[in-house]
Protein backbone atom coordinates (compact mmCIF):
# COMPACT_ATOMS: atom_id res chain seq x y z
CA UNK A 1 0.00 0.00 0.00
CA UNK A 2 1.66 3.22 -1.20
CA UNK A 3 0.18 5.49 1.45
CA UNK A 4 1.70 3.58 4.38
CA UNK A 5 5.46 4.05 4.44
CA UNK A 6 7.93 1.43 5.54
CA UNK A 7 10.40 4.00 6.86
CA UNK A 8 14.12 3.84 7.28
CA UNK A 9 16.46 6.36 8.90
CA UNK A 10 16.65 8.55 5.80
CA UNK A 11 12.92 9.09 5.82
CA UNK A 12 12.62 9.70 9.53
CA UNK A 13 13.55 13.40 9.48
CA UNK A 14 11.20 14.18 6.61
CA UNK A 15 8.41 12.32 8.36
CA UNK A 16 8.95 14.25 11.60
CA UNK A 17 8.74 17.55 9.73
CA UNK A 18 5.58 16.47 7.86
CA UNK A 19 3.73 15.22 10.93
CA UNK A 20 4.72 18.25 13.02
CA UNK A 21 3.24 20.42 10.27
CA UNK A 22 -0.03 18.45 10.40
CA UNK A 23 -0.16 18.78 14.18
CA UNK A 24 0.98 22.42 14.17
CA UNK A 25 3.34 21.46 16.96
CA UNK A 26 7.13 21.08 17.12
CA UNK A 27 8.35 18.38 19.51
CA UNK A 28 11.14 19.10 21.92
CA UNK A 29 11.76 15.35 22.18
CA UNK A 30 11.53 14.02 18.62
CA UNK A 31 11.86 10.45 19.88
CA UNK A 32 8.35 10.72 21.33
CA UNK A 33 6.93 11.47 17.90
CA UNK A 34 8.83 8.59 16.30
CA UNK A 35 7.57 6.22 18.99
CA UNK A 36 4.00 7.44 18.52
CA UNK A 37 4.14 6.51 14.83
CA UNK A 38 5.81 3.12 15.20
CA UNK A 39 3.66 0.04 14.67
CA UNK A 40 4.61 -3.04 16.74
CA UNK A 41 5.35 -4.89 13.49
CA UNK A 42 8.20 -2.47 12.72
CA UNK A 43 10.53 -4.23 15.13
CA UNK A 44 9.46 -7.81 14.59
CA UNK A 45 12.30 -8.66 12.25
CA UNK A 46 14.74 -6.25 13.83
CA UNK A 47 14.51 -8.09 17.14
CA UNK A 48 15.21 -11.39 15.41
CA UNK A 49 17.85 -10.32 12.93
CA UNK A 50 19.85 -7.82 14.97
CA UNK A 51 20.06 -9.73 18.26
CA UNK A 52 18.24 -6.89 20.06
CA UNK A 53 20.73 -4.37 18.75
CA UNK A 54 19.33 -1.72 16.45
CA UNK A 55 22.17 0.81 16.46
CA UNK A 56 21.04 2.23 19.77
CA UNK A 57 17.37 2.60 18.81
CA UNK A 58 15.08 1.31 21.56
CA UNK A 59 12.39 -1.16 20.59
CA UNK A 60 9.29 0.88 21.37
CA UNK A 61 6.03 0.94 19.48
CA UNK A 62 3.06 3.24 19.97
CA UNK A 63 1.25 0.80 22.27
CA UNK A 64 2.20 2.36 25.62
CA UNK A 65 1.52 5.88 24.34
CA UNK A 66 -1.81 4.79 22.90
CA UNK A 67 -2.82 3.49 26.34
CA UNK A 68 -2.19 6.91 27.89
CA UNK A 69 -3.60 8.83 24.93
CA UNK A 70 -6.94 7.05 25.23
CA UNK A 71 -7.33 8.36 28.79
CA UNK A 72 -5.90 11.81 28.16
CA UNK A 73 -8.05 12.55 25.12
CA UNK A 74 -11.13 11.30 26.97
CA UNK A 75 -10.37 13.60 29.88
CA UNK A 76 -9.62 16.62 27.67
CA UNK A 77 -12.83 16.20 25.67
CA UNK A 78 -14.88 15.51 28.81
CA UNK A 79 -13.62 18.72 30.41
CA UNK A 80 -14.38 20.70 27.27
CA UNK A 81 -17.92 19.32 26.98
CA UNK A 82 -18.62 19.81 30.68
CA UNK A 83 -17.59 23.47 30.63
CA UNK A 84 -18.98 24.27 27.18
CA UNK A 85 -22.62 23.46 28.01
CA UNK A 86 -23.67 23.28 31.70
CA UNK A 87 -27.12 22.03 30.66
CA UNK A 88 -25.82 18.66 29.41
CA UNK A 89 -26.77 15.68 31.53
CA UNK A 90 -24.44 12.74 32.28
CA UNK A 91 -25.96 10.58 29.56
CA UNK A 92 -25.56 13.29 26.96
CA UNK A 93 -21.97 13.94 28.08
CA UNK A 94 -21.20 10.25 27.72
CA UNK A 95 -22.69 10.09 24.22
CA UNK A 96 -20.84 13.21 23.12
CA UNK A 97 -17.52 12.03 24.50
CA UNK A 98 -17.92 8.71 22.71
CA UNK A 99 -18.80 10.47 19.45
CA UNK A 100 -15.73 12.70 19.68
CA UNK A 101 -13.05 10.24 20.81
CA UNK A 102 -14.42 6.86 19.70
CA UNK A 103 -12.51 4.66 17.26
CA UNK A 104 -14.68 5.70 14.31
CA UNK A 105 -14.09 9.40 14.87
CA UNK A 106 -10.35 9.12 15.56
CA UNK A 107 -9.78 6.83 12.58
CA UNK A 108 -11.41 9.46 10.38
CA UNK A 109 -9.21 12.13 11.96
CA UNK A 110 -6.13 10.10 11.02
CA UNK A 111 -7.23 9.70 7.40
CA UNK A 112 -8.52 13.22 6.84
CA UNK A 113 -5.25 14.71 8.08
CA UNK A 114 -3.11 12.16 6.25
CA UNK A 115 -1.54 10.74 9.41
CA UNK A 116 -2.02 7.17 8.15
CA UNK A 117 0.68 7.81 5.55
CA UNK A 118 3.38 8.07 8.20
CA UNK A 119 2.88 4.90 10.24
CA UNK A 120 6.25 3.18 10.63
CA UNK A 121 6.07 -0.52 9.82
CA UNK A 122 8.03 -3.16 7.99
CA UNK A 123 6.95 -5.47 5.22
CA UNK A 124 5.68 -8.04 7.74
CA UNK A 125 2.60 -5.97 8.54
CA UNK A 126 -0.43 -8.00 7.51
CA UNK A 127 -1.30 -7.14 3.91
CA UNK A 128 -5.00 -7.47 4.72
CA UNK A 129 -4.63 -4.71 7.33
CA UNK A 130 -3.04 -2.41 4.76
CA UNK A 131 -5.88 -3.15 2.35
CA UNK A 132 -8.39 -2.48 5.13
CA UNK A 133 -6.80 0.90 5.86
CA UNK A 134 -6.80 1.85 2.18
CA UNK A 135 -10.42 0.76 1.74
CA UNK A 136 -11.40 2.84 4.77
CA UNK A 137 -9.45 5.86 3.48
CA UNK A 138 -11.19 5.60 0.10
CA UNK A 139 -14.60 5.44 1.78
CA UNK A 140 -13.88 8.41 4.06
CA UNK A 141 -12.81 10.51 1.07
CA UNK A 142 -16.41 10.28 -0.19
CA UNK A 143 -18.04 11.22 3.13
CA UNK A 144 -19.24 14.52 4.53
CA UNK A 145 -17.57 16.42 7.38
CA UNK A 146 -19.30 14.53 10.19
CA UNK A 147 -20.30 10.88 9.87
CA UNK A 148 -21.45 9.21 13.09
CA UNK A 149 -22.64 5.86 11.79
CA UNK A 150 -20.43 4.88 8.90
CA UNK A 151 -21.00 1.73 6.85
CA UNK A 152 -17.42 0.50 7.06
CA UNK A 153 -15.34 -0.74 9.97
CA UNK A 154 -12.71 1.74 11.16
CA UNK A 155 -9.30 0.00 11.45
CA UNK A 156 -8.21 0.29 15.08
CA UNK A 157 -4.62 1.05 14.07
CA UNK A 158 -5.75 4.47 12.80
CA UNK A 159 -7.41 5.47 16.08
CA UNK A 160 -4.39 4.09 17.97
CA UNK A 161 -2.06 6.43 16.08
CA UNK A 162 -4.15 9.49 16.94
CA UNK A 163 -4.26 8.48 20.61
CA UNK A 164 -0.52 7.80 20.73
CA UNK A 165 0.19 11.20 19.17
CA UNK A 166 -2.00 12.85 21.80
CA UNK A 167 -0.01 11.15 24.56
CA UNK A 168 3.30 12.08 22.91
CA UNK A 169 2.31 15.74 22.86
CA UNK A 170 1.03 15.49 26.44
CA UNK A 171 4.37 14.13 27.65
CA UNK A 172 6.33 16.63 25.56
CA UNK A 173 4.29 19.43 27.17
CA UNK A 174 5.23 18.12 30.62
CA UNK A 175 1.69 16.81 31.25
CA UNK A 176 -0.14 20.08 30.50
CA UNK A 177 -3.70 19.07 29.60
CA UNK A 178 -4.78 22.62 28.74
CA UNK A 179 -2.03 23.09 26.16
CA UNK A 180 -2.69 19.64 24.72
CA UNK A 181 -6.35 20.54 24.15
CA UNK A 182 -5.44 23.81 22.44
CA UNK A 183 -3.31 21.83 19.97
CA UNK A 184 -5.55 18.81 19.53
CA UNK A 185 -8.90 20.54 19.34
CA UNK A 186 -8.20 21.75 15.80
CA UNK A 187 -7.26 18.21 14.80
CA UNK A 188 -10.59 16.87 16.08
CA UNK A 189 -12.74 19.49 14.36
CA UNK A 190 -15.55 19.51 13.60
CA UNK A 191 -16.47 18.72 17.20
CA UNK A 192 -19.64 16.65 17.46
CA UNK A 193 -22.31 18.62 19.33
CA UNK A 194 -25.65 17.64 20.84
CA UNK A 195 -27.37 19.15 17.81
CA UNK A 196 -25.35 16.88 15.51
CA UNK A 197 -26.23 13.83 17.62
CA UNK A 198 -29.90 14.73 17.36
CA UNK A 199 -29.61 15.22 13.60
CA UNK A 200 -27.83 11.88 13.14
CA UNK A 201 -29.42 9.46 15.62
CA UNK A 202 -28.37 5.85 15.47
CA UNK A 203 -30.39 4.15 12.70
CA UNK A 204 -31.18 1.07 14.80
CA UNK A 205 -32.49 3.21 17.68
CA UNK A 206 -34.47 5.32 15.22
CA UNK A 207 -36.00 2.24 13.61
CA UNK A 208 -37.17 0.81 16.94
CA UNK A 209 -38.52 4.14 18.17
CA UNK A 210 -40.28 4.95 14.91
CA UNK A 211 -42.05 1.60 14.84
CA UNK A 212 -42.83 1.63 18.56
CA UNK A 213 -44.75 4.88 18.09
CA UNK A 214 -47.05 3.06 15.70
CA UNK A 215 -47.31 -0.04 17.87
CA UNK A 216 -45.24 -2.16 15.50
CA UNK A 217 -42.74 -4.84 16.45
CA UNK A 218 -39.26 -4.80 14.95
CA UNK A 219 -36.95 -7.79 14.69
CA UNK A 220 -33.47 -7.74 13.21
CA UNK A 221 -32.38 -11.26 12.35
CA UNK A 222 -28.64 -11.85 11.81
CA UNK A 223 -27.40 -14.64 9.55
CA UNK A 224 -24.39 -15.60 7.48
CA UNK A 225 -23.94 -16.48 3.84
CA UNK A 226 -20.43 -17.89 3.67
CA UNK A 227 -18.10 -15.17 4.94
CA UNK A 228 -20.71 -12.43 4.49
CA UNK A 229 -22.63 -11.10 7.51
CA UNK A 230 -26.27 -10.35 6.71
CA UNK A 231 -29.04 -8.83 8.81
CA UNK A 232 -32.70 -8.76 7.84
CA UNK A 233 -35.32 -6.40 9.27
CA UNK A 234 -38.90 -7.51 9.86
CA UNK A 235 -41.73 -5.28 11.01
CA UNK A 236 -44.79 -7.10 12.38
CA UNK A 237 -43.51 -10.30 10.81
CA UNK A 238 -43.08 -8.74 7.36
CA UNK A 239 -39.68 -8.52 5.68
CA UNK A 240 -38.67 -4.92 5.01
CA UNK A 241 -34.97 -4.83 4.13
CA UNK A 242 -31.59 -6.49 4.48
CA UNK A 243 -28.05 -5.19 4.95
CA UNK A 244 -24.70 -6.91 4.69
CA UNK A 245 -21.04 -6.50 5.59
CA UNK A 246 -17.91 -8.49 4.89
CA UNK A 247 -16.45 -7.14 8.14
CA UNK A 248 -18.79 -7.10 11.15
CA UNK A 249 -22.32 -8.22 11.95
CA UNK A 250 -22.84 -4.90 13.75
CA UNK A 251 -22.25 -3.08 10.46
CA UNK A 252 -24.64 -5.45 8.68
CA UNK A 253 -27.29 -4.60 11.31
CA UNK A 254 -26.56 -0.90 10.87
CA UNK A 255 -26.87 -1.12 7.08
CA UNK A 256 -30.08 -3.13 7.38
CA UNK A 257 -31.61 -0.52 9.69
CA UNK A 258 -30.63 2.29 7.30
CA UNK A 259 -32.24 0.51 4.37
CA UNK A 260 -35.33 -0.34 6.41
CA UNK A 261 -35.83 3.30 7.34
CA UNK A 262 -35.69 4.23 3.67
CA UNK A 263 -38.25 1.55 2.79
CA UNK A 264 -40.54 2.50 5.66
CA UNK A 265 -40.36 6.16 4.67
CA UNK A 266 -41.88 5.19 1.33
CA UNK A 267 -44.82 3.35 2.86
CA UNK A 268 -45.63 5.03 6.16
CA UNK A 269 -48.25 5.74 7.25
CA UNK A 270 -49.78 3.38 4.68
CA UNK A 271 -50.06 -0.32 5.47
CA UNK A 272 -46.63 -1.93 5.45
CA UNK A 273 -48.31 -5.17 4.46
CA UNK A 274 -47.75 -4.33 0.78
CA UNK A 275 -44.12 -5.41 1.29
CA UNK A 276 -45.15 -8.91 2.33
CA UNK A 277 -44.05 -11.85 0.22
CA UNK A 278 -47.21 -13.75 1.24
CA UNK A 279 -45.29 -16.67 2.60
CA UNK A 280 -48.09 -17.85 4.84
CA UNK A 281 -46.19 -16.70 7.94
CA UNK A 282 -47.75 -15.81 11.22
CA UNK A 283 -46.69 -12.81 13.33
CA UNK A 284 -43.70 -14.65 14.81
CA UNK A 285 -42.18 -15.38 11.36
CA UNK A 286 -43.04 -19.08 11.66
CA UNK A 287 -43.58 -21.33 8.66
CA UNK A 288 -45.58 -24.43 9.39
CA UNK A 289 -43.51 -27.51 8.62
CA UNK A 290 -40.45 -25.39 7.92
CA UNK A 291 -37.97 -28.16 8.69
CA UNK A 292 -39.51 -30.48 6.10
CA UNK A 293 -39.80 -27.69 3.51
CA UNK A 294 -36.14 -26.72 4.03
CA UNK A 295 -35.08 -30.37 3.78
CA UNK A 296 -36.94 -30.78 0.47
CA UNK A 297 -35.53 -27.52 -0.86
CA UNK A 298 -31.95 -28.58 -0.08
CA UNK A 299 -32.54 -31.92 -1.80
CA UNK A 300 -33.80 -30.19 -4.94
CA UNK A 301 -30.76 -27.90 -4.95
CA UNK A 302 -28.44 -30.86 -4.25
CA UNK A 303 -27.24 -29.11 -1.11
CA UNK A 304 -26.15 -30.73 2.14
CA UNK A 305 -28.97 -31.71 4.49
CA UNK A 306 -29.59 -28.98 7.12
CA UNK A 307 -27.85 -29.60 10.43
CA UNK A 308 -29.55 -28.42 13.64
CA UNK A 309 -27.93 -27.76 17.01
CA UNK A 310 -28.95 -26.12 20.27
CA UNK A 311 -27.28 -22.70 20.42
CA UNK A 312 -28.75 -21.70 23.77
CA UNK A 313 -30.67 -23.38 26.59
CA UNK A 314 -31.62 -21.17 29.52
CA UNK A 315 -33.99 -21.18 32.46
CA UNK A 316 -35.03 -23.64 35.19
CA UNK A 317 -35.82 -27.24 34.22
CA UNK A 318 -39.59 -26.68 34.37
CA UNK A 319 -39.43 -23.56 32.14
CA UNK A 320 -36.36 -23.98 29.97
CA UNK A 321 -36.10 -21.97 26.74
CA UNK A 322 -34.18 -23.07 23.66
CA UNK A 323 -32.62 -21.35 20.66
CA UNK A 324 -31.54 -23.58 17.78
CA UNK A 325 -29.01 -22.97 15.04
CA UNK A 326 -29.43 -24.43 11.56
CA UNK A 327 -26.45 -24.80 9.22
CA UNK A 328 -26.29 -25.75 5.56
CA UNK A 329 -22.76 -26.53 4.46
CA UNK A 330 -21.27 -26.03 0.98
CA UNK A 331 -23.60 -23.21 -0.02
CA UNK A 332 -21.18 -20.49 -1.09
CA UNK A 333 -19.14 -21.36 1.99
CA UNK A 334 -22.13 -22.29 4.15
CA UNK A 335 -25.31 -20.75 5.56
CA UNK A 336 -26.14 -20.51 9.24
CA UNK A 337 -28.89 -18.82 11.22
CA UNK A 338 -30.47 -18.91 14.67
CA UNK A 339 -34.17 -19.01 15.30
CA UNK A 340 -36.28 -17.46 18.04
CA UNK A 341 -36.43 -18.63 21.64
CA UNK A 342 -38.90 -21.48 22.16
CA UNK A 343 -40.03 -23.73 25.01
CA UNK A 344 -39.46 -26.94 23.03
CA UNK A 345 -36.43 -28.03 20.99
CA UNK A 346 -38.63 -29.09 18.07
CA UNK A 347 -40.26 -25.66 17.97
CA UNK A 348 -36.84 -23.99 18.19
CA UNK A 349 -35.64 -26.04 15.22
CA UNK A 350 -38.72 -25.08 13.20
CA UNK A 351 -38.10 -21.43 14.05
CA UNK A 352 -34.51 -21.66 12.82
CA UNK A 353 -35.68 -23.36 9.61
CA UNK A 354 -38.32 -20.63 9.13
CA UNK A 355 -35.72 -17.90 9.50
CA UNK A 356 -33.28 -19.42 7.04
CA UNK A 357 -36.05 -20.00 4.49
CA UNK A 358 -36.94 -16.32 4.77
CA UNK A 359 -33.30 -15.40 4.33
CA UNK A 360 -32.95 -17.59 1.24
CA UNK A 361 -36.04 -16.05 -0.31
CA UNK A 362 -34.86 -12.52 0.41
CA UNK A 363 -31.49 -13.17 -1.17
CA UNK A 364 -33.09 -14.60 -4.32
CA UNK A 365 -36.82 -13.99 -4.95
CA UNK A 366 -36.74 -16.58 -7.77
CA UNK A 367 -36.63 -19.23 -5.05
CA UNK A 368 -40.34 -18.51 -4.40
CA UNK A 369 -40.97 -20.83 -7.31
CA UNK A 370 -38.93 -23.57 -5.63
CA UNK A 371 -40.06 -23.40 -2.01
CA UNK A 372 -43.77 -24.15 -1.94
CA UNK A 373 -46.21 -23.69 0.90
- Residue 67 structural domain: 9-199
Radius of gyration, CA atoms only, the chain:
26
* 178 and 209 fall within a common domain: no
Select from 310, 337, 92 the least CA-distant residue to 194. Answer: 92
* 130 and 23 fall within a common domain: yes
Q: What pLDDT score was predicted for residue 363?
A: 57
Q: What pLDDT score was predicted for residue 276?
A: 29
Query: How many CB atoms lie under 10 A from the CB of residue 318?
Result: 5
How far apart CA 210 and CA 159 sit, in angstroms, is: 33
Beta strand 307-314 pairing with 238-245: unpaired
How far apart CA 119 and CA 316 sit, in angstroms, is: 54
Last residue of a domain, one of 173, 199, 225: 199
Which distant-in-sequence residues (6+ apart) come within 8 Å of 219 by Cβ? Answer: 233, 234, 285
In a domain, 283, yes or no: no
In a domain, 65, yes or no: yes
Last residue of a domain, one of 143, 173, 199: 199
* 140 and 239 fall within a common domain: no
* 260 and 295 fall within a common domain: no
In a domain, 108, yes or no: yes
How far apart CA 125 and CA 122 sit, in angstroms, is: 6
pTM above 0.75, yes or no: no
* 252 and 313 fall within a common domain: no
Q: What pLDDT score was predicted for residue 36?
A: 94
Q: What pLDDT score was predicted for residue 14?
A: 85
Q: What pLDDT score was predicted for residue 160?
A: 94
In a domain, 1, yes or no: no
* 42 and 118 fall within a common domain: yes
Question: How many domains does one find in the chain?
Answer: 3
* 309 and 261 fall within a common domain: no
* 43 and 150 fall within a common domain: yes
Select from 121, 122, 120, 115 the least CA-distant residue to 136. Answer: 115
> Are the C-beta atoms of 146 and 69 separated by less than 8 Å?
no
Could you tell me the CA-to-CA distances from 194 to 94, 130, 197, 257 in Å, in that order? 11, 34, 5, 22
* 125 and 20 fall within a common domain: yes
* 27 and 78 fall within a common domain: yes
Select from 273, 283, 275, 235 the least CA-distant residue to 361. Answer: 275
Per-residue pLDDT tens digits of the chain, which is 373 residues long: 333 444 456 667 888 999 999 999 999 999 999 999 998 877 665 554 454 444 445 568 899 999 999 999 999 999 999 999 999 999 899 989 988 998 889 999 999 999 998 888 766 566 677 888 888 888 888 777 777 767 677 888 999 999 999 999 999 999 999 999 999 999 999 998 888 887 778 888 888 988 887 788 999 998 888 778 888 999 888 898 888 887 778 888 888 888 888 888 766 443 323 222 233 334 355 788 888 888 888 877 777 788 889 888 888 888 889 999 888 875 455 678 888 889 888 999 999 888 888 777 765 543 443 444 4
In a domain, 2, yes or no: no
Could you tell me the CA-to-CA distances from 219 to 143, 214, 234, 356 in Å, in that order? 29, 15, 5, 14
Q: What pLDDT score was predicted for residue 21?
A: 95
In a domain, 143, yes or no: yes
* 315 and 194 fall within a common domain: no
Which distant-in-sequence residues (6+ apart) come within 8 Å of 307 by Cβ? Answer: 326, 327, 328, 329
In a domain, 4, yes or no: no
Last residue of a domain, one of 156, 176, 199: 199
Amino acid sequence: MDSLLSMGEEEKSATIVAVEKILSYSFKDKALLVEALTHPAYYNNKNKNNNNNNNGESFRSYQRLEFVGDVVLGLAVSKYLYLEDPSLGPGQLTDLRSANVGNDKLARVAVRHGLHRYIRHNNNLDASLLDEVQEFADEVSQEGDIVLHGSIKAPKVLADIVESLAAAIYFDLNFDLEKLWVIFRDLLKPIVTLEVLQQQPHPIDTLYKQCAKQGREVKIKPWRDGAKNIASVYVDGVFVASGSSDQLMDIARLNAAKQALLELAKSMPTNIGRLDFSFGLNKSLEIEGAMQKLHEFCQKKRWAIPNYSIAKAEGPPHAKKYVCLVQIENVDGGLSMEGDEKSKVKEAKNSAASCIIRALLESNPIRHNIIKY
